Amino acid sequence: MHRIKRHLKVWMTASLLIYGVFAGTTPSFAGSLEFRFIGNMAFQISDGAFTILTDYPYISGAFGYMEYQSETVKPVGTVLSLVTHEHDDHWNPASFRKAPGWSLVGPAGVTGSVDPNRVIHVDETAQFGPATILVHQTPHSDLVHYSYVVIWQGVRMFFSGDTNSSKELLAEKDLDVAFVSPWLLNQLRASGRRVDAKMVVVYHHGVDEQITVYQDCLVPVQGEEFTVAR
Ligand SMILES: [Zn+2]
């Protein structure tokens, strides 16, 4: 049914199909989300009409983390930046201002530096086109930090951001994809607790960082793409 030239890795369950592809071979069909890893906690996620960019734009190379070329990031359709907090390796307001059509969801430390007309108001939830966004305020440093659940095309996703707290993640049930920092993954492995998710993706690892795999997690390289279909 779907032709893919080269598989990196395949997960299949009764209700969810996830597969990795190399750039340029991504098929498109209804009811799927396409993911591309930019760097740090930045993913480009699209259904073809709407695109969410998590923790993007950020300052390339900030604090020694991943660099990227902004020319390679070409989101399609209506675009939202979904940002966990204002540290430089997650957020760069100057770059956001240069992308005038994009909207923004984030805590006040993020949204305070841009035109309020571009900010989608968040209480506990926010709506962006077909995507429902649920906010968990989670601890990080001395600032307001959001972890997010995004429900889109029937796919339930969790984005931890930089928090050290796994409580909110472990309380979530029936996730399809959980995006988790290396330090949260280590914490989970040390405690033996498992995330209730069909797929765990590590993000914010260093370029050469060795990740000890837990829950069969994907450790993406920059530019890696995969598709999740319900
Ligand atoms: Zn941070």
Q: Taking the model in full, what pTM does it have? A: 0.89
1 in any annotated domain: no
Contact 114, 107 (CB under 8 A): no
201 in any annotated domain: yes
88 in any annotated domain: yes
User: In sequence order, what DSSP letters do the residues of 134-194 get, joined into one string?
Assistant: EEEEEEETTEEEEEEEEEETTEEEEE-TT-S--HHHHH--SEEEEEE-HHHHHHHHHHT--
The pLDDT > 70 percentage for the chain reads: 87
5 in any annotated domain: no
Report CA(228)–ligand 1 centroid distance (Å). Answer: 28
Report CA(29)–ligand 1 centroid distance (Å). Answer: 36
Report CA(148)–ligand 1 centroid distance (Å). Answer: 15
167 in any annotated domain: yes
Q: What is the pLDDT of residues 142-198, one digit of tens each?
A: 999 999 999 999 999 999 999 999 999 999 999 999 999 999 999 999 999 999 999
**What's the confidence (pLDDT) of residue 27?**
45
Q: Give pairs for 61-65: CB < 8 Å, separation 24+.
A: 62/87, 62/88, 62/89, 63/87, 63/88, 63/89, 64/206, 65/39, 65/40, 65/89, 65/204, 65/206
Q: What is the pLDDT of residues 10-39, one digit of tens each?
A: 455 545 666 654 444 444 445 799 999 999
**What's the confidence (pLDDT) of residue 230?**
76
Please state the domain count of the chain.
Answer: 1
3 in any annotated domain: no
200 in any annotated domain: yes
Tell me which residues have their CB within 5 A of the ion that is ligand 1. 87, 162
15 in any annotated domain: yes
Report CA(58)–ligand 1 centroid distance (Å). Answer: 11
Tell me which residue range forms the domain holding 153: 10-229
User: What is the CATH classification number for the domain harbouring 92?
Assistant: 3.60.15.10
Report CA(139)–ligand 1 centroid distance (Å). Answer: 10
Report CA(61)–ligand 1 centroid distance (Å). Answer: 14
